[in-house]
Chains A and B, each alone.
Chain A
Amino acid sequence: MKLALKMLGRDWRGGELQLLFACLILAVATVSGITHFSSTLQASLLQQSKDFLAGSMVLSSPRPVQSAWIEEARERGIAVSENVGMASMAFANERMQLSSLKAVSDGYPLRGKLRIADTPFSAESHVVQHGPAPGEAWLASSMASLLDIQPGAVLEIGKTTLRFSQVLVDEPDRGFAMFSVGPRVMIHLDDLAAADLVHVGSRVSYRYQFDAADALIADFKAWLEPQLEDSHRIRTLDDAQPRLAEALQRAERFLLLAGSLAVMLSGLAIAMSAQRYCQRHYDHVAILKTLGMTEGRVLGLFATSLLLLALLASLVGGLAGWGLKGLFEQVFAEYLVDVAEVSLWRPWLFGLATALVSLLAFAWPPLRALQKTSAMAVLRDLVPTDPLSQGLRLVIAGFGSVALLMIYTQSWFLSLGLLGGLAALTLVVGLLARGVLAVPRRFGGLASPLGLAWANFQRHRRHTQLQLMVYSSALMLVGLLWAVRSDLLDDWRASLPADTPNHFMVNVAEYEVDSLRQQLNDAGVATETIYPMVRGRLTHINGESVRTQVTKEEQRSIDRELNLTWNDALPPKNVLEQGTWWRDDANDGVSIEARLAERLGLKMGDTLRFQIGADILETYIQSIRSLDWQQMRPNFYFIFPPGVLNTYPATFITSVYLGPEQKPLLTGLMREFPTVTIIEMDVIIAQINSTVDRVSQAIEIVFGLVLLATAAVLVASILASQRERRRDNALLRTMGATSPLLWRACGWEFVVLGLAANMIACLGAELSLAAIQSQLLGIAPSIHWHLWWVLPAISIPVLVFIGIASSRASLFEPPVVLLRDS
């Protein structure tokens, strides 16, 4: 240990370790920084997602639940809030309006915040962490508008009189109220009893929010679930907001991908600098062996030195990563919420594990060769025979890479996919580089910079091949990351274009359809199709009751009144998977949504029986459609051909896009069509967009880090060839080559390398992207033309700059110094 420490100090002073140390620090800092920040970001997003539930878990029930359950939760240290929802008439100003009443207890919301304003439809609002006080009512703008009252006015709910104190702009768990019967009125739970609205048979929904650490919630959920009745429903983050969950999942996958690439790049840099370190110690080991050191001691000495270096690097890198994470948090301060449960040690341990596994996988093989250096090398210039075959070294590096990738991604597909891509790249690049360097053998005169550069390639063909491979791999990874990021954002934005419908209008009566369409057209609002809706229940499949045909789980989803519609054309964003659309004859059946068909095990031609009111309707599956449920449009499980459902009573539904300037239109529409319920989705869409923006900014920072790792790889690969470069340049200068000629030749070398590497990188990136897009992200493969010009335009100047900067010693030092050193 003492000797190892001394050697470490000596190597440090001799300038042997700085590169390896820097690479390790970069690896640890990048990994721990990314891990720590992404943990914080994910925990923060998770917490904000809990806001959508206004707690960590929600229990809903049509009746009050046993008070023992609530007491049990409180005893377990879980915070509980309660709210009761129902439809109720509100009276004010000699008007009355059906409202979606929500009575909330103290403590509501446990998570998230309420947004309130002083006046209806105001652009200015502020957030609060509590509901209305007893005696007060908070009204949605539309409600205030319908009742034609301003804050300060008095309104009656049931038998109680309340003061309209604030305008309710947004509530965290608003998502549940999407299909409520009217605009929101929020009151305190204490006032509900005074209002005397709840009687036997009332349609009331009770919601209990629970909030505590995840483990406590999980335990409580496990305790509670066996006691639940069919009418009880538990919601957690997983099933709260599918769109957000999907966005989070993609963001997480992307951060993992970025982290994996950073790990691979760092591993590459460590492998190269360890190789260089070992090569520079062959003489050293030969002398040590001549002086009597055994192989085991040689290995122990160098392994201890490298381990000490790894520990030191993980400490410094951990600190740097911590600083980096602090920087992230500063940048994202307004987006992050206080997250206490992010472990401080985990990211650092990840960094340390990365450093150790990288050293083991990438530094161990050259270290074994170093150990086997013959003492005879002191007498003759012998390069040690590698005790590990090339194949075995590759296998070790492969296992190491998979181990590193698995630590992060926990996904065999991603780990092996990335590694497979790199292996294929190595093969292709090796062949391409050989082809590129084979012809022509001469390129201009030797006295011209380009000619000299080309001669250099030819002279060091093997090294050039290696460099080409390194640059291509690094550039490919950067290109890959960049393109995937663009794909993700484009996909997110494409799924929510600026004119995405942001208001639903439901309960439109048949006689109102034409005038509603007319009014919207007059106001310049584009209308989607207005779909009829008939309520019906699926009772039999192929003549047998659904209760015997499907699982209990599935029964829940269909054992209720479903919205059935009819339409002559396939609705937008619906794709026919099987079967045909209407043939306009009496034999037309029904079109079913693909996922439901899959869940219920239905196939083409199966017969279905619906009960609509007292009537029975028999039909068969004529087509299976897939559709994106995330689209803010009316979506239906079952679509019938026109003419089948016309005789049944129907209401109509549509969705429209209203810009902020068109919002006041709502007041007029609500007055004109008092029975129509308008659901404002714009706030939810804004929440989703804000999440997407946040993630995209995080990705940009991670991308910057990966670029830094790439730069480190470039420097490492250039330094790996530095010794030869110095010797060659010393000889050339001795023979009369001028400094300008040499640095121009050096510049050309990197330009040509850069061009070749970019071509290969773009090709490789496109191929890998096609796989990633289709397999991992679930989006259609496409060609990324921007890669082909942006990547070279940025990377070649950077490569030339780093190349010349790293080679400056050999370009400008007097030849005598160079000759002596080399």
Chain B
Amino acid sequence: MIIAKNIVKTVSTRAGELHILQGIDLHIKAGESVAIVGSSGSGKSTLLALLAGLDNPSQGEIYLGDQPLHAMSEDQRALLRADHVGFVFQSFQLLQGLTAMENIALPLELTRADKAEHLARQYLEKVGLNERGHHYPNQLSGGEQQRVAIARAFASQPSVLFADEPTGNLDGETGQRIADLLFDLNRDEDCTLVLVTHDDELAARCDRRLRMNSGRLCEEG
């Protein structure tokens, strides 16, 4: 469950204060999949970062489960992420110096090192890359890199998965396959999914769609 109350995010620029988010209220139930859509610069990614505890709001309250993110320190939020949150990014964000297998094992090593290798292998298999575990990111195609990222996100068995334009860097067909994989795993793992995307088709596969417009959020049919 994610609750956001009256979230405001303001940044200072030379031209004065810039209001990126203006009074966002949001309630996402456990196990629900929610898509946040909107044009570039509307504040989608900023909202995602706040909901995931990557950043702090200028104002307002955010709860992840029963944990008040807005009142936690950076380190407390990091520990919360380690236990409960998974991420998939548009630009994959794999560590270039690590193999596919090592990238998947990394978050596991942070929390349950004893099972890291076993679980990593299991998820590598789930995303269909068991033959490519020893390849480095630059030896993999974009689609394959995103599969590794998805495996990494689910391997730590999070309660919430945040995905920022997960198909944005991929061609249509590959993007479709990645979306299938994401939703299949999400269903299998029974976790909450918060998805930021431009892609209406992808958004349509979620339980709910929210639209960001100039820092404000409204529910779509």
Contacts and interface: CB of A to CB of B under 8 A. Distances in A.
Interface of A: 2-3, 6, 10-11, 13-16, 283-284, 286-297, 374-376, 378-380, 820-821
B97 A379 contact: no
A379 B82 contact: no
Contacts of B45: 379-380
A291 B107 contact: yes
B93 interface: yes
B32 to A, nearest CB: 22
Given A375-B78, A379-B54, 17 more contacts: A2-B113, A3-B113, A6-B109, A10-B95, A14-B97, A14-B98, A16-B97, A284-B95, A290-B87, A291-B87, A292-B82, A292-B110, A293-B78, A374-B55, A375-B54, A375-B55, A820-B138
Contacts of B152: 291
30 contacts: A3-B110, A6-B109, A13-B97, A14-B96, A14-B136, A15-B97, A286-B93, A287-B95, A288-B110, A289-B78, A289-B81, A290-B54, A290-B81, A291-B107, A291-B110, A291-B152, A291-B156, A292-B78, A292-B81, A292-B82, A292-B83, A293-B78, A295-B74, A295-B75, A374-B55, A378-B89, A378-B93, A379-B48, A379-B89, A821-B138
- Chain B interface main SS type: helix
A73 B38 CA distance: 96
Contact of A292 (B55, B89, B107): B107
A289 B54 CA distance: 9
> Which of B49, B80, B164 has the largest count of A CB atoms less than 10 A from its CB?
B49
Interface in B73-111: 74-75, 78-83, 85, 87, 89, 93-98, 102, 106-107, 109-111
B53 to A, nearest CB: 8
Nearest to B103: A287
A290 B93 contact: yes
Contacts of B80: 292
- Chain A interface main SS type: helix
A294 B79 contact: yes
Nearest to A289: B78
Contacts of B111: 292
Contact of A293 (B89, B110, B136, B164): B110
A802 to B, nearest CB: 26
A714 B188 CA distance: 55
Contacts of A6: 109
Closest 9 CB pairs of A and B: A292-B82, A14-B97, A294-B75, A291-B107, A292-B81, A375-B54, A294-B78, A378-B93, A292-B78
> Which of B54, B55, B94, B102 has the largest count of A CB atoms less than 10 A from its CB?
B54
Nearest to A821: B138
Given A291-B156, A292-B110, A293-B82, A10 B98 contact: yes
A16 to B, nearest CB: 6
A296 B78 CA distance: 11
Contacts of B95: 10, 283-284, 287
B107 A296 contact: no
Contacts of B48: 379
A380 B54 CA distance: 12
B201 to A, nearest CB: 23
Nearest to B97: A14
Interface in B124-150: 136, 138
A379 B79 contact: no
A375 B73 CA distance: 13
Contact of B49 (A11, A283, A284, A376): A376
Contacts of A820: 138
A555 to B, nearest CB: 75
